[in-house]
Structure 1
């Protein structure tokens, strides 16, 4: 259960989104207006009907051709939270017990923290669940009241089904119309090639990957004859979980984590390994602060 009181502790963090993403221009849509709040972007050839005030006469003096200046309208930065809601995220403990480490809730709290700090700076935020595609669950109201409503909705959300990671990310990326800060919170238990293809669609934004795993995934408590269940495929596997199998499991898990980190490196994204059993605010500091 996510308790709203955790939001009070976020005051310890600098809420300035722009400080984290100072390389990201606030807004990408072209504008032909002249005035304050605009950033020079590029030139294009003059066409009849263009505002002559935008003609760059210095360029004309050099080239004897008319070019107009193009500008980008400066807007508040938008924070996008993409939260994996597949069945594999429903792992780690009893959600009715607040002290129990649970993957979905840990990931949700990270996203809610991003949304709350965005609202504190009067930046916009969007919040979506990833499944076969994406589902926007915010109401386009970037306020602290909306964050509280999202807490209630997420407490009632049961992670279910499989995530088509590539399709969900590509579909969502098509809705982003300006460079933004994007947090993807997931266990990334999918083919790394599919994950990379999905994240590539979000690449032009400031992208952070919160790679969430539960303590029992990193260090399975199973020993001896054990039945493992795949919650998404709803299949089981019976095996003897001895020292050799445990070692191979740990090696494969670490290899997968390393692969996702390498995907992040190739795409210029920040990858942060998140242990759902660790102190939340220590973890949030690692994810939020660049």
Structure 2
């Protein structure tokens, strides 16, 4: 797995640039809100049973006689849960290395913000990592990922049930997988987690996504180990791309139906572009640009 100290240094620089931008925007936004005249601003919502009372804006209560929650505090206090698919199909070409870097990157950026996070991998079963804060503790998790066997049949529904069982309040859940699963299982799994801020990253190696091979090949199922001898022709490439496109479109629709955010990513994309795109909404929430 290509996770190096240099990669973590790059994450530090990325976090610093984003933090400076968000902090300056956020301060300006909060100052304008503080000068409001008796209004309930769009960055608030009504308090509901089960909400953390520490998020109540008592100044707004004094003006309106109603309890309101600061959305910024609500979003900021989310526990981040990163769920990484380690089933056999993730081993194709550079897919696992890229997926692992994404997972570690999200964990590291979360840790740098002093946020709580959980990191899990899944295939037939789910493995949980709860590293302490600090770069040296993250190194232990990276070491375990380096030694991890990427194989087996994935069970996304079992993984979703485990995450739901361990999630006691609204969380930011990021799932990184190729999602080569039965659509009904995917729909059920995502519905289980739909009360959270759910971000889906469907990841493919670029050659896998385009089926960039021609001629005679022996294809082996990475999870159940079945093999077939086939000839990859332009017609077969078209059929493959059509079916894969339909599968991805169906997953995107499922995400829309359950309120999840969908991202289709290939390994040729610059990884820091993916970090920014996936976290963009959260960054804008912190800056006050999205209410």
| TM-score relative to the length of structure 2 | 0.75
Distance 1:238 1:77, change over 3 A: same
Query: How far 1:253 sits from its partner (Å)?
Result: 1.0
1:210 and 2:201 correspond: yes
| Structure 2: distance between partners of 1:272 and 1:247 | 23
Report how far residue 252 of structure 1 moved: 0.7
Larger-gyration structure (1/2):
1
In the alignment, which residue of structure 2 is the partner of 1:83? 84
The question of whether the paired residues in 2 share the 8 Å contact of 1:134 and 1:172 is answered with no
SS in 2 for 1:178: coil
Which of 129, 150, 168 is matched with 1:159 structurally? 150
| Candidates 105, 109, 121, aligned match of 2:113 | 121
Contact 2:45 2:69 in 1 (8 A): no
Query: In the alignment, is residue 37 of structure 1 matched against residue 20 of structure 2?
Result: no
What SS does structure 2 have at the residue aligned with 1:109?
helix
Match of 1:226 among 217, 221, 226: 217
**Structure 1 counterpart SS, 2:114:** coil
Structure holding more strand per residue: 1
CA RMSD of aligned residues (A): 3.0
Structure 1 residue 278 displacement after superposition: 2.3
Check the 8 A contact 1:123/1:142 in 2, yes or no: no
- 1:138 corresponding residue in structure 2: 130
Q: Is the 8 A contact 2:44 2:68 kept in 1?
A: no
| Residue matched to 1:242 | 233
Counterparts of residues 253-268 of structure 1 (less than 5 Å): 253-268=244-259
Q: Tell me, in whole angstroms, the C-alpha distance in 1 between the residues paired with 2:50 and 2:133.
A: 21
Q: Cα 1:37–1:86, aligned 2, differ >3 Å: closer, same or farther?
A: same
1:216 partner SS: helix
Taking the aligned partners of 2:232 and 2:188, their CA distance within structure 1 comes to 34
Q: Structure 2 vs 1, CA of residues 142 and 265 (structure 1 numbering), >3 Å: closer, same or farther?
A: farther
- Tell me, in whole angstroms, the C-alpha distance in 2 between the residues paired with 1:89 and 1:24: 41
Correspondent of 1:109 among 98, 101, 104: 101
Alignment TM-score, normalising by the size of structure 1 = 0.76
Would you say how many aligned residue pairs link Structure 1 and Structure 2? 246
3-state SS of paired residue (2:56): strand
User: Does the 8 A contact of 1:81 with 1:128 survive in 2?
Assistant: yes
- Determine the C-alpha separation between the residues in 1 that align with 2:49 and 2:81: 16
Q: Does 1:12 align with 2:14?
A: yes
For structure 2, the 5+ residue unaligned runs are 27-42, 58-64, 282-291
